[in-house]
């Protein structure tokens, strides 16, 4: 009887750890997806897609400074005057609503060059 009780406790513990492991693995995938979208947004700004306009918000959706690359994923960015003339400081934040425990938010920052205005 005692052995059966100990075996039951061990089986329940293994099942709970397996469920936790599967959930964390899924969240790791979602965190990776969020980071990829953040890096992709920064790459687009580096290539000149909107880096000339100053504005945006990382907290709320702003026209021309946010998008939804797929359902459950919100990408927002800001563009500010850079530390050196001819540059812009940019930040991209991705909120992945599909992640449950970890990896809901990814953020990247950088500086990009802009074409001088004539």
Please write down the HEC assignment for all residues of 17-78. Answer: HHHHHHHHHHHHHHHHHHHHHHHHHHHHHHCCCCCCCCEECCCCCCCCCEEEEECCEEEEEE
Model pLDDT for residues 32-75, shown as the tens digit of each residue: 888 899 988 888 888 776 556 888 999 999 888 999 999 989 99
The structure's pTM equals: 0.77
Instruction: Confirm if 75 and 59 have CB atoms less than 8 A apart.
Output: no
Q: Is the pLDDT at 117 greater than 80, yes or no?
A: no
Round to whole Å and give the CA distance between 69 and 50.
Answer: 16
């Amino acid at each position: 009887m005692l052995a059966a009780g100990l075996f039951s406790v061990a089986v329940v513990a293994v099942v709970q750890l397996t469920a936790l492991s599967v959930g964390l693995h899924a969240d790791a995938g979602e965190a990776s997806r969020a980071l990829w979208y953040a890096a992709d947004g920064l790459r687009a700004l580096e290539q000149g897609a909107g880096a000339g306009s100053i504005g945006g918000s990382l907290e709320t959706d702003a026209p021309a400074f946010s998008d939804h690359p797929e359902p459950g994923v919100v990408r927002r960015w800001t563009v500010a005057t850079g530390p050196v003339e001819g540059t812009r400081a940019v930040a991209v934040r991705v909120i992945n609503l599909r992640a449950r425990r970890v990896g809901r938010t990814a953020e990247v920052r950088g500086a990009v060059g802009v074409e001088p205005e004539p």
